Amino acid sequence: MIIMAVNPMQKAHDAPRCGAKTRRGTPCQSPMVHGRKRCRMHGGAYGSGAPKDNKNAWKHGLRSKEYREEKRRGREIIRQLRDLMKGVC
């Protein structure tokens, strides 16, 4: 007779749980979908959610990847100029 020391389903039971608030007010506690913070019923389903760089909600682009990159380059140039000025003065 083989005695199982470890429950083979323990790994599934230990899966991280969804914390969405249910109608009862308690956390959902269904397992999270891989790579998501919620279960399949609370917005974690594949194909749900906004697309990457949500172009549907584009307003002015102030938080776009391109603009943030441009601001980062500008700050880098200012930093370099400031270092150059330190050598002059």
Residues at the contact surface with Zn ion, assessed by CB under 5 A: 18, 20, 28, 30, 39, 42
Residue with Cβ nearer Zn ion (30 or 36): 30
Residue with Cβ nearer Zn ion (21 or 79): 21
Residue with Cβ nearer Zn ion (27 or 61): 27
CA–CA distances in Å: residue 40 to residues 26, 30, 79: 17, 8, 47
**What is the 8-class DSSP label of residue 38?**
S
For the CB of residue 42, give the shortest distance to Zn ion in the complex, in Å. 3
For the CB of residue 71, give the shortest distance to Zn ion in the complex, in Å. 37
| Residue 18 identity | C
Q: Cα–Cα distance between 65 and 20 in angstroms, integer? A: 30
